[in-house]
Structure 1
């Protein structure tokens, strides 16, 4: 009976999709092995680098400041993003394509969206932190208290999980039938909606409406914060003082630039102007290489973190030689 029902559905081209086939990069066997190895190295390096940041911030007293607390939260988000995407991507790439269930696809989309929205808000909070530190340094400790930092972090996480849940449920109610091949590395929003048989106008409308609090408002706050920061820095009479003041937020500015450049390039630029290969490469930038670059930027450009690494290694080495 079920077989007959399936035949009838197929005849009407309304076969319900229960899984999707991800193509990944369709390349030669040797290149697939090379890409698999690269993705695995990046994944391991990202996990280790971000865990190191979280451990240092948690254990080193010199890093118990609002800025480093927010950096550790960024590391948690980066671990969540890359763990959500890369394990299945490795399977897809090694096997020249792979399947993912409809439920698994929605779960992957949910956690990816939650992490990216959280990062949008967190980078905004970090810009505000740098604004207070540079433009109002005398009140910094009274404004950016531990309680304030925790509350701001919770406020960043809540929209990420709630907004993404809202449009994920809407996508789950769509009808997917017929073609189930996604020419992508993972279940991303745009290629998934292209396979829907039902009307997706409501989903696109929600995305554009929610784009105002997710993208426009955080971007505006970041631009305004750095405008005041630049004005304040330029008003400092000594060159040394200007360099020291701006160096405290240069790492954050680099991270913001990389993050928003990839997001805007992938989702704001019309999709018709992008090839599938270009879309996949841009997706790799913000799901794999941005989480890898973030701890490198903050560790290589930050004296406090480098000092904490040296102290931790020294303690480990000293304790290792203890009788």
Structure 2
């Protein structure tokens, strides 16, 4: 995926050899591969780290029979989505700097990246929904029926992500009409605007779910305090300490979530093909960086996964 229409996939060079006839020299002109850049190296390194980290998480969950609760299905889906994002970054580096770029390679990497980021963001929303339901329906959540519902939800998420990601390959691209390109070639501005608009909706729904988690947790704390006949405004030190620790973790998760996804979602709506590619890099890097942070924030902090 190239960042805008002004960033050509390669520079043409004559490649003349002194012992070739002139007519053969002109017919054998080959495009040169672009020079390796710091962005390209960072892209390859980050993609490798993302793929390795999430492969460990996915393998651990799938290989452990005891990790079959709805939350672990959601974490496996999140890890798989982020794993594909890392693979897409590696493929983008290879197609950009190691082999001759082509239209099909741009469509492949952009479609894979869109699919993985869409599935990752929807899986994050699913994790928030799981946390909300586990608090509001603590006695029944986690049963076999809940696992089947979680599996059905994930199936719909991945089907939707694959359909959305197939858009560029099915013809919704700007390769034949550069004027319609967005800040991320070969995606059209209409396609990226709809995509980023959907991302913003998912972000808003996820924030609402976490707000509901805070309300449910507060009601539970108040009910426990009432049953124990002491004021909730003056709990003992261990309760204050655990509540403060849980609240700080929630703030960290929400800050990383919004900080990673909001910049690119807004920039995709506001920018176009004439926008400076540096701005696109600056907003796309945090979105891809979320795939590096998600295993740490969601999976590796789980004691059952760490034990496995």
TM-score norm. by structure 1 comes to 0.66
Query: Secondary structure of the equivalent of 1:100?
Result: coil
SS in 2 for 1:171: coil
Structure 1 pair 120/291, CA: closer, same or farther in 2 (3 Å)?
Answer: closer
Equivalences for 1:141-156 in 2 at 5 Å?
Answer: 141-142=142-143, 145-156=146-157
Deviation at 1:85, TM superposition (A): 2.3
- Within the candidate set 202, 216, 240, 1:218 is matched to 202
Which aligned pairs between 1:14-163 and structure 2 lie closer than 5 A? 21=9, 32=37, 38-89=42-93, 92=96, 99-142=100-143, 145-163=146-164
The alpha carbon displacement at 1:144 in A equals 6.3
Structure 2 residue 218 is the aligned partner of structure 1 residue 229: no
Which ranges in structure 2 are unaligned for 5 or more consecutive residues? 12-34, 226-238
Paired position in structure 2 for 1:192 = 185
Distance 1:112 1:284 in 2: 13
RMSD (Å), alpha carbons: 3.8
- What displacement does 1:233 show? 2.1
- List aligned pairs for 1:238-277, cutoff 5 A: 238-239=239-240, 242=243, 253=254, 256-270=257-271, 275-277=276-278
Find the residue that maps to 2:9 and give its secondary structure. Answer: strand
Write 1 or 2 for the structure with the bigger share of helix. 1
Distance 1:173 1:87, change over 3 A: closer
* 1:219 Cα offset (Å): 2.8
**Distance of 2:290 and 2:101 partners within structure 1:** 24
Q: In 2 relative to 1, CA 176–210 (structure 1 residues): closer, same or farther, beyond 3 Å?
A: closer
Residue 138 of structure 1: CA displacement? 1.7
Structure 2 length normalisation: TM-score?
0.68
1:305 correspondence with 2:305:
yes
Deviation for aligned residue 1:122: 1.7
Do the aligned residues in 2 keep the contact of 1:124 with 1:218 (CA within 8 Å)?
yes
